[in-house]
Structure 1
Amino acid sequence: MSLSLTPAATAWAAAPGSPGAVEIEVLSFTSNDAVDEAAALTDAFKHALIGAPGVADHGKGHALEAVALTAGCDDPMAASCAPKLASEIKYDKFIYGTVKKTPPNKLTATLIYYNNGQLKTVAKTYDAGPVAKDGTSPELKKIALDALWSLLGGAPKGKVEVTVTGPAANEDGALFEGGQPVGTVTQGKGAVDLPSGPHTLELRVKGFASTTGDVEVTPAGATLQLAPVRLAPAKPIDWQLYGGIAAVGVGLVFVGLGVSSSLSVKDAQNNETFTNYRHRWPSSEGDTCARAREGKESPTNDPTVPKIAAEVASLCDDVASKQRAQWIYYGLGGALVAGGAILIFTDKGTGKEGDKAADKTAGVRVELRPVVTPSFSSLSLVGQF
């Protein structure tokens, strides 16, 4: 019976691995046409086992062809003979396989993981060349690690026991990693299964600042303590204060419109045409606008004087309209400003300081007093404290 060949690979000692690490024996891979590449891939696998979390190299250094020959397996070895290999090496977790050249310039490794009678096969095709003959090259070690996780279904998992301390010790919360939910905490206790290796967990508890912690997970498990800090209660929105400010602001806009209207009225009353028409009559003759609306041009109805009564009547109508509007503006503006000022001065705030402020402002009274005459306009804000 002829078997494929495997050169002597690097001698390896068993690596202790992390606590509870799954120990796996790597039988030196065989090949008929890529002997050096098979030896390099064997070394890369052992490097991968040493550096990967949750696993360890069993370190016995068995050669597949020698064990298969001793176990009485055929060449090529059938998968059904794997249990005989386990009996021969007295170990129930091992990886074996073959490497062969494939065109145009590739290598294909067929790898089998035996785990207590269960078999899983993975085929990896990669470039031939100098890298494929160097078991320490990063490229070949990456190929080996990818194949290892494919065979094992990922890094072995471990249970992380999470304990919450501090003021949140009896609270419920959620655990996240990388922004994704991975578990929950109930009354300050939780557990989550994670692949072996380093992890950063975030705990979110209502009413507390989120907190994170780093943990190194092994198949034997790990523990993590987290102590969230309680958030300061959010300050309630002081609607009375903001409502008062808004009312004062809107009120001042209306007051401004009233002042603008008053100034417009004053300008109209000082209009040259209006003044000339008014001066045609003695001051004792009554309302200028009433005479203009009657169409009277002068006390004597002198036909030689300029006809301006209609223009003056139009000015009077415009002034009357603006005077009505200004009192609406002043009324609304005054009410809003006064009401807003009362809201501001009597604001109780949102806490103990607000209660003190309320006592101090219990007697506050605010009043807005607009004054408008044909020749004078003013606005007064009167407060009683």
Structure 2
Amino acid sequence: MSWTSKLFAPVCAGLVLGLAPGVAFAQDGELPVAVLTIQTLDSFEQADALTLALKRAVEDAPGWSTAKTPKDYALQVLVPSLGCVDPPDAACEAKIADEIKVDRFVWGTMKKEGTDVAGELHFWIRDKGSTKTTYRYSSNLTVAVDDALSGIAKSKFEELAGGPATGKITVRAGTHNGTVTVDGKPAGTLKGGVATLDLPPGAHTIGIEVAGYDPTSTQVEVLAREAKEVTLSPTAKPEEGPPYQKIFGFTLLGLGAAGAGVGAYGGIKSLQLKSELEDNYLNDIAGEKQACEAGPKGDYPNAQGVNASKIIKICQDGDTFETMHFVAFPVAGALGVAGIVLLATADWSGGEATAETGKAPVEVTPSFGPMGGDVSVRVRF
């Protein structure tokens, strides 16, 4: 191929690309970018496809749009016509921008390397200079709308542009301090009622969490490079009174435990006194009768001999402790059951009904079997 035919090819490609559908111009809030036809000497079909894929990538990127120019421009034509060095330096890039009347443009080079094509891409911005990246992919990718080539163009432009364009959201909430959430996840800190976020374009749920206040949020549509303010007014949580049900529940459980202790103590003392009678005063009891068997007058007629008064005192104490034993245990059981019921039906969610926080610290599990029944009580701390 002659030098003139090589020079003419990208110009024709530019005319074809200019007629391609799907290429729009800058809209409000979007920064226009011109894409020059990729320069090559041996990979014209691949260069044309990458050029068009880059234009589509620019058009699809939030905050960017393809620049409106009177025609498509090829780097291979602009460099010699402007008397620039090849590849273009910073001075030449400025000349190209002035020539095609844009503030931003993408240019690149391409050459074959075995079964691949490789090269460089540059993104020039007026007063900022140029960023650069390299690429390599299979020379079989010759269709701009191919998913693989579209993905390469998209990722390379994002790399050149420093990532997707974002919108700046300022959150205001009085003078509160707290946490700012975006789409349900912590995203910043609210200090003195102000927080600033950089968010990708799209719909987002922005909320705040302030101690002593109910969480509040709102839906926001974020546009690239748009600055927007969001004002949120949290509502104070209602003051909660003392948790009487929990207090009574734990109190009854405590009283039940104390009652069970009293009952156990009474039973133990009663057995000890009975053992004392059998060990020390068996000979002072008439016949084989029970020493503490009550008589018709409420006395203990079977206690005889010189130790009768001691036996009577032991029997009186034994009756007292036995009564304590048989009364305390039912009362303790009733108090414990009442306490468990109160705690099991109390609100343990702390205002948030979740699977874990809503569980009561006391779990009662009845069980039944052929040998009888049982009740297990489990307390979480």
Range of TM-score over shorter length: 0.5 to 0.7
In structure 2, stretches of 5+ residues that fail to align are 289-301, 340-381
Q: Does 1:115 align with 2:125?
A: yes
Task: Please give the secondary structure, in 2, of the residue aligned with 1:285.
Answer: coil
- Of 83, 86, 96 in structure 1, the residue corresponding to residue 97 of structure 2 is 86
Q: Does 1:202 align with 2:217?
A: no
- 1:126-161 deviations in whole A, cap 9, x for unaligned? 3332xx212112322221121111111122343224
Q: Does 1:45 align with 2:54?
A: yes
- 1:106-136 deviations in whole A, cap 9, x for unaligned? 332310011114011111223332xx21211
For 1:289 and 1:42, the matched residues in 2 are separated by 119
Cα 1:19–1:249 change in 2 (3 A) is: farther
For 1:232 and 1:248, the matched residues in 2 are separated by 32
Cα 1:216–1:82 change in 2 (3 A) is: same
Over aligned residues, Cα RMSD in angstroms?
4.3
Cα 1:170–1:274 change in 2 (3 A) is: same
Task: Please give the secondary structure, in 1, of the residue aligned with 2:213.
Answer: coil
For 1:326 and 1:80, the matched residues in 2 are separated by 108
For 2:277 and 2:163, the matched residues in 1 are separated by 94
Task: Please give the secondary structure, in 2, of the residue aligned with 1:133.
Answer: coil
- 1:240-264 deviations in whole A, cap 9, x for unaligned? 5355324302212212313432563
Task: Please give the secondary structure, in 1, of the residue aligned with 2:248.
Answer: helix
* Structure 2 residue identity aligned to 1:208: Y
User: 1:201: how far off?
Assistant: 2.6
Matches within 5 A, 1:87-236: 87-103=98-114, 105-117=115-127, 118-129=129-140, 132-164=141-173, 169=174, 171-177=176-182, 179-182=185-188, 184=190, 186-187=192-193, 190-212=195-217, 213-236=219-242
Structure 1 length as normaliser, TM-score? 0.63
* Structure 2 residue identity aligned to 1:176: T
- 1:311-350 deviations in whole A, cap 9, x for unaligned? xxxxxxxx99x96x969x98xx89x98xx99xx9xxxxxx
Task: Please give the secondary structure, in 2, of the residue aligned with 1:126.
Answer: strand
Moved beyond 6 Å, runs of 4+: 1-4, 269-277, 288-291
For 2:220 and 2:201, the matched residues in 1 are separated by 13
User: 1:183: how far off?
Assistant: 5.0
For 1:183 and 1:137, the matched residues in 2 are separated by 43
- 1:5-26 deviations in whole A, cap 9, x for unaligned? 5334422576355532111111
Which residue is equivalent to 2:359? none
Which residue is equivalent to 1:354? none
What is the percentage of aligned positions where both structures have the same residue? 21
- 1:21-64 deviations in whole A, cap 9, x for unaligned? 11111111122222212111111112112221111111433222
Higher-Rg member (1/2): 1
Q: Does 1:72 align with 2:92?
A: no
Which residue is equivalent to 1:244? 251
Task: Please give the secondary structure, in 1, of the residue aligned with 2:42.
Answer: coil
CA contact (8 A) 1:162 1:191 kept: yes
Q: Does 1:20 align with 2:29?
A: yes
Structure 2 length as normaliser, TM-score? 0.64
* Structure 1 residue identity aligned to 2:55: K
For 2:241 and 2:113, the matched residues in 1 are separated by 71
- How many residue pairs are counted as aligned between the two chains? 300
Cα 1:14–1:126 change in 2 (3 A) is: closer
In structure 1, stretches of 5+ residues that fail to align are 292-318, 345-385
For 2:191 and 2:147, the matched residues in 1 are separated by 40
